[in-house]
Structure 1
């Protein structure tokens, strides 16, 4: 049993493809990040079965896919690549963090949901959804910065490229009021292994309480399904009971709980 590492996405797919395809929801973060990851890894059992996968970003953030506790306990990244933090299923993250010998602190507790039978919001919010266009880039970039701050991330200086990519590929949806004013947004990842992940769901504070987030989330899930996704997933912050209840009303069902931790020092 051992971990194997590569910078080659094709090699990673060849080695871990069966595992990724068997558990696409639980592997959603790795599937989404693998094309741009600085390091990819997989844990192989004696019989060759892969029972753990990871993606390490250039910033030092580590994401674990569906990974056994045994694999997490044995994880040792190449020298000089110790992560700044790790996210993944709670048991695996706790096992890795404790085994690392480094001090750490939880940063977020999340729940992964998968869309079952889509259920439109009732009552429906006023207005309609539309696909964002190039003219929306400045607004969406500003909202993305606000979103990052709201969830406790350090916002980037400029999100123009980030949102332009999503808008140019038709993966970002806005909700607008009957008079044409944009009031909420949601994006969806590229479809990989038949699966897409909803993210970047945001309504500015002044426009909350009108059901716009429900409308745009329902819409972007349907957009993903209409463009080839057979599974749609999303993460919620467990500290936000409002969003957890909202997504379940829209037809999302819990899959597994996740934990994010930040390392605050070196191994003792």
Structure 2
């Protein structure tokens, strides 16, 4: 039983193809990151079966895919690439963190949901969904900063490129009022191995409690299904009961719980 590491997404995809295809929902973070990851890894059993994968982007913040507890305990990353943070299914993350012997603390507890039968929001919010266009880049970029701030990420990073990419590919929807004013947004990842993941769901504070998030989330999920996704997924923060209840009303059902952790700096 051995961990293998590479920076080559093609080599990783070839080695882990069966594992990735068998569990696309549980591997959603790895599937989304693998083509731009700084480091990729897979755990091979004696018979060659892969039973654990990860993708790191940036290199010291890996995301675990579907992974056995045994694989997580055995993971030792290359020297100088020990993680400062880590996310993945709770059991595997806890197993790795405890086996590492390093001090660590949880930063976020999440739940992965899969869209079962889409349910329209009730009551339906005023307005409609529309696909964002190039003229919306400045507004969406500002909203992306607000989203990052709200989830504890760096709001000063450059969001223009990622926002422009999503908009140019038609993967970001806005909810607009009857007068055409944008009031909420949601994006969806590219469809990979049949799965697409909803993200960047954001309503500015002054526009909340009007159902706009429900409207745009339902619309972007339908758009993903219509474009060919077999599974539509999203993550929620378990500390936010409002969003967890909302997504379940829209037809999302729990898949598995995830944990994010942060490691104390390694002593020099």
Q: Is the 8 A contact 2:61 2:84 kept in 1?
A: yes
The SS at the match of 1:65 is strand
Q: Is the 8 A contact 1:187 1:200 kept in 2?
A: yes
How far did residue 228 of structure 1 move?
1.3
How far did residue 22 of structure 1 move?
0.3
Aligned partners of 1:63 and 1:215: how far apart in 2? 30
Aligned partners of 1:252 and 1:82: how far apart in 2? 35
Match of 2:178 in 1: 178
Match of 1:152 in 2: 152
Cα RMSD (Å): 1.1
Residue deviations 1:175-207 (CA, integer Å, cap 9, x gap): 001111100000000000011000000000000
Aligned partners of 1:267 and 1:256: how far apart in 2? 34
Match of 2:191 in 1: 191
Match of 2:47 in 1: 47
Match of 1:238 in 2: 238
Residue deviations 1:59-113 (CA, integer Å, cap 9, x gap): 5211000000000000001111111100000000001111111111100000000
Q: Structure 2 unaligned runs (5+)?
A: none
1:107 and 2:107 are equivalent in the alignment: yes
Match of 1:64 in 2: 64
The SS at the match of 1:30 is helix
Match of 2:7 in 1: 7
The SS at the match of 1:63 is strand
Aligned partners of 2:267 and 2:55: how far apart in 1? 22
Alignment of 1:113-124 (within 5 A): 113-124=113-124
- TM-score between the two structures when normalised by the length of structure 2: 0.98
Structure 2 CA distance for partners of 1:157 and 1:58, relative to 1, 3 Å: closer
Q: Structure 1 unaligned runs (5+)?
A: none
Match of 2:76 in 1: 76
> Which stretch of the first structure deviates more once superposed, 55-64 or 238-247?
55-64
How far did residue 58 of structure 1 move?
2.7
Aligned length: 268
Match of 1:225 in 2: 225
Q: Is the 8 A contact 2:39 2:59 kept in 1?
A: no
Q: Is the 8 A contact 2:59 2:81 kept in 1?
A: no
How far did residue 267 of structure 1 move?
7.0
